[in-house]
């Protein structure tokens, strides 16, 4: 299958002529997630793209809010050519005019939930935000696996929990879920802050945004329970470490990993080609296998039985969506409050 993927990327850009051997090599900037996602890009996608188009790809790793901040800082002279971001920051990027329309998107093959307004971005994978736990740690202590978001408030896990901060989508989802469970929600976030401060915070070892640090905290035995995404957990489990993902009974929150070509005066046509390539069936199947994404392309050849954590099949029905219109109007204020009251 990887051979087919390489063949796809080497087959040529839609509407582009082959690069002349003597052409000067340009630099193509991709901003995206770090950790295992970055490794997959560097190993399976970037080399073929570089070879086909005679470009040097610079991968700029960072979480979604970091990438959005870079786009804002470079507004007058954008360096980034394409950007991967979570759905919330991606909606903001579109509203701020950073994303160009995608041309020749295979629209009929893309699930509707993965398409953004005006096709200015497209999903590359569906992730579920839920709970990760160390199965060996739990087994040795005779603990039953977690089943609920409320397990984060159980005092027996004091000092064993890791949650990404609110500038990371996983942390934001946690806040929204606790608000919803207490009768509030996106439009009434107060119950979420109350629960985080009074019930969850005493159990938290760290509010950690780095995927590498998250895995280190588990590998060292300091952490045993965390909020994370299906893709991250599947990649961690693939290393042989004893972790599993839990779809909480109150619901697992949808996180759509997405990509957009950056709008700028000197935009290269390769940005469009790169975006189209990552939603093709073979690459979608690769991301499903290597990273645990639920594919956004209906024609991606995946076996749900071989993807025990990914939101595919019946598991996809357990996903719930948040209201990004409301969240993005309030996110800056929530972040300031989180830093002042929760993560202090």
The lowest-confidence range among 295-304, 311-320, 335-344 is 311-320
Q: Measuring CA to CA, which residue among 180, 205, 202, 221 is closest to residue 326?
A: 180
**Given this model, what pLDDT does residue 23 score?**
53
Chain-wide mean pLDDT for the chain? 91
Question: Does the pLDDT of residue 303 top 90, yes or no?
Answer: no
Element housing 321 (H / E): none
**DSSP single-letter state for residue 32:** E
**CB-based contact 145:133 (threshold 8 Å):** yes
**Given this model, what pLDDT does residue 36 score?**
83
Residue count (the chain): 344
| Domain range annotation of the chain | 2-124+256-309, 127-254+321-341
| Residue 249: strand, helix, or coil | coil
**Given this model, what pLDDT does residue 20 score?**
41
The lowest-confidence range among 83-97, 172-186, 258-272, 304-318 is 304-318
- Greatest distance between any 2 Cα atoms in the chain: 65
**CB-based contact 317:242 (threshold 8 Å):** no
Dist CA 260 CA 274 (whole Å): 10
> What residues contact residue 252 under an 8 Å CB cut-off, 6+ apart?
128, 129, 130, 311, 318, 319, 320
**Given this model, what pLDDT does residue 15 score?**
38
Question: Does the pLDDT of residue 19 top 50, yes or no?
Answer: no
**Given this model, what pLDDT does residue 316 score?**
81
What CATH number does the domain located at 2-124+256-309 have?
Answer: 3.40.190.10
**Given this model, what pLDDT does residue 7 score?**
47
Question: Does the pLDDT of residue 3 top 60, yes or no?
Answer: no
CATH code matching the domain that covers 127-254+321-341, chosen among 3.30.390.50, 3.30.70.2190, 3.40.30.10, 3.40.190.10 = 3.40.190.10
Q: pLDDT category, 291, cuts 50, 70, 90?
A: confident
**CB-based contact 291:125 (threshold 8 Å):** yes
Element housing 229 (H / E): strand 225-229
pLDDT average, residue stretch 64-84? 96
Dist CA 121 CA 119 (whole Å): 5
pLDDT average, residue stretch 35-42? 90
| Residue 336: strand, helix, or coil | helix
Dist CA 291 CA 289 (whole Å): 6
What are the φ and ψ backbone dihedral angles of 4, each rounded to 5 degrees? -60, -40
Question: Does the pLDDT of residue 86 top 80, yes or no?
Answer: yes
Question: Does the pLDDT of residue 2 top 70, yes or no?
Answer: no
Dist CA 59 CA 37 (whole Å): 11
Q: Measuring CA to CA, which residue among 149, 154, 240 is closest to residue 191?
A: 149
Neighbouring-strand partners of residue 14: none
Radius of gyration of the chain (CA): 20
Tell me the per-residue pLDDT of 97-153, one tens digit each, with 9 for 90 and over: 999 999 999 989 998 889 999 999 999 999 999 999 999 999 999 999 999 999 999
Dist CA 212 CA 133 (whole Å): 16
């Amino acid at each position: 299958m990887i051979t087919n993927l390489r063949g796809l990327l080497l087959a040529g850009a839609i509407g582009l002529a082959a690069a002349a051997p003597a052409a000067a090599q340009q630099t193509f900037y991709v901003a995206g997630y770090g950790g295992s996602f970055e490794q997959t890009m560097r190993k399976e996608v970037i080399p073929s793209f570089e070879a086909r188009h005679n470009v040097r790809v610079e991968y700029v790793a960072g979480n979604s809010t970091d990438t959005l901040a870079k786009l804002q800082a470079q507004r007058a002279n954008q360096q980034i050519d394409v950007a991967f971001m979570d759905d919330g920051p991606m909606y903001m990027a579109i509203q701020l005019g950073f994303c160009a329309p995608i041309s020749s998107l295979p629209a009929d093959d893309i699930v509707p939930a993965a398409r953004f307004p005006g096709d200015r971005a497209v999903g590359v994978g569906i992730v579920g935000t839920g709970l990760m736990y160390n199965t060996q740690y739990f087994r040795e202590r005779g603990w039953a696996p977690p089943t609920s978001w409320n397990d984060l408030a159980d005092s027996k896990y004091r000092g064993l929990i890791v949650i990404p901060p609110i500038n990371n989508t996983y942390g934001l989802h946690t806040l929204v879920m606790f608000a919803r469970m207490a009768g509030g929600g996106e439009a009434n976030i107060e119950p979420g802050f109350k629960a985080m401060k009074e019930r969850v915070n005493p159990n938290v070892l760290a509010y950690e945004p780095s995927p590498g640090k998250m895995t280190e905290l588990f590998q060292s035995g300091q952490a045993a329970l965390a909020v994370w995404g299906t893709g991250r957990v599947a990649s961690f489990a693939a290393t042989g470490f004893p972790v599993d993902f839990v779809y909480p009974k109150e619901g697992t929150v949808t996180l759509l990993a997405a990509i957009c070509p950056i709008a700028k005066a000197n935009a290269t046509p390769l940005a469009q080609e790169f975006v189209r390539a990552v939603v093709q069936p073979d690459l979608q199947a690769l991301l499903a296998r290597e990273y645990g994404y639920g594919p956004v392309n209906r024609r991606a050849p995946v076996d749900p039985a071989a993807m025990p954590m990914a939101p595919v099949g019946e598991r996809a029905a357990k996903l719930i969506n948040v209201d990004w219109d409301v969240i993005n109007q309030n996110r800056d204020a929530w972040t300031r409050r989180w830093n002042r009251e929760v993560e202090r």
